[in-house]
Amino acid sequence: MDNERRVRPGDKRMKADVPQKTPSNRAKRSVTNRDEASAPEGEGASHSVNRKGTDHMLQSASPRAKEDAVNQELLSAQNDEISPVLSTGAAEISVPLSGESIYAFKTYAMLLKEWNDRMNLTGIMDNHGIALRHFVDSLTLVPFLNEEMAKKGKKTLTLVDVGTGAGFPGIPLKVAMPEIEVLLLDSLKKRIHFLQEVCTALSLKKMTCFHSRAEDAGRSKLHRERFDVATARAVAALPILCELCLPFVKVGGIFLAMKGHVEDEIEMSQKAVVTMGGTIESVHQFVLPGTDMKRAVVVIRKLRPTPPKYPRTAGKPEKDPIL
């Protein structure tokens, strides 16, 4: 007892030394396997472990997640076909595209082909053709929109794409120029459903898909003379297009008519242009990058309000064009 030291108030308690157990070989293997499974690839993690983890994730994933994973694989497969063609073609018309924009175009192409199996959207189904003849062709309007914004000192524009069909040129323009507001106008309800699907998949904001004939929408207060720009991509002869599209354009705005061979149509459209309150400001002819196809963009400036009786009732502009 004499050698024992009594604990007094204020003394600090000392932890007893506890012998440390040496891990068994089985425990070592368990720790090693756990470390390998959690390590990044290239730092001890085996391919088989990563593969098992991926398979387990896919098995437990929701149907939506599985669909997204499949779409990712499809988009990767399309990468070598669409990306170089799109990037090169866009660069030739001075429209640089971000990686995010190219990914959006690949998603668009995938949906276009998927929906084309159910309904007639386009006769061009190969990736090379879609990239050039749909996407790059639509993007040829970007320089005109940039020039229009610069002239007006604006950071955005309102645009209506009349008779948009599968979304050309409206959707490509929106992908390349997110700042603009776009209304896609088409007379077929099925196509509107497709366009809505694309806009949702690409997360496009300030984008409206509207079901109506151009003759009806052009007479409504909701849309008449409400837009800075109207576009149409070779859906009819130029005199007809002027009656269908110019009523949507504000005074001071422009109608961009996309045509192939336009020489004969310029002269025959003069009366229709003037009647709708416009004037032909310029005609730009070029060859579509990567092809030998001739293209033209006719810029028509709106100088005066369109007379109230135009556009005429559905079918009348086609049957009896202003010549």
Beta-carbon contacts of 151 under 8 Å, excluding residues fewer than 6 positions away, are: none
pLDDT one-digit tens code per residue, 266-288? 999 999 999 999 999 999 999 99
pLDDT score at 52:
47
Work out the mean pLDDT of the chain and round it to a whole number: 84
pLDDT score at 235:
72
Q: Which of 63-77, 102-116, 242-256 has the lowest mean pLDDT?
A: 63-77
* Cβ pair 93, 143 in contact under 8 A: yes
Domain assignment of residue 48, yes or no: no
Domain assignment of residue 199, yes or no: yes
Averaged pLDDT for residues 99-109: 96
Alpha carbon of residue 254 to chain centroid: 23
Under DSSP, the state recorded for 305 is P
Q: What pTM was estimated for this model as a whole? A: 0.77
Domain assignment of residue 160, yes or no: yes
Looking up tokens 């242009």 gives: 273
Averaged pLDDT for residues 297-312: 98
Domain assignment of residue 279, yes or no: yes
Q: Roughly what angle, to the nearest 10 degrees, separates helices 25-38 and 47-60?
A: 70
Domain assignment of residue 60, yes or no: no
Give one word for 196, left, alpha or beta, with left for phi > 0 and alpha for psi -120 to 50.
alpha
Domain assignment of residue 264, yes or no: yes
For position 266, which CATH number holds? 3.40.50.150
Residues 167, 197: Cα–Cα separation, whole Å: 11
pLDDT one-digit tens code per residue, 114-143? 999 999 999 999 999 999 999 999 999 999
pLDDT one-digit tens code per residue, 35-72? 444 344 444 444 444 444 445 554 555 665 555 555 55
Q: How many domains does the chain have?
A: 1
Which residue, among 278, 241, 243, has the nearest Cα to 163 in the 3D structure?
Answer: 241
* Sign of the Cα pseudo-torsion (9, 11, 15, 16, in order): negative
Helices (H), 93-188: 99-116, 127-129, 137-139, 142-152, 170-176
pLDDT score at 62:
64
CB 213: neighbour CB atoms within 10 A? 16
Q: In the chain, how long is the greatest CA-to-CA distance?
A: 127
Domain assignment of residue 14, yes or no: no
**Band (295; pLDDT cuts 50, 70, 90):** very high
CB 10: neighbour CB atoms within 10 A? 5
Domain with 219 in it: 140-319
Domain assignment of residue 263, yes or no: yes
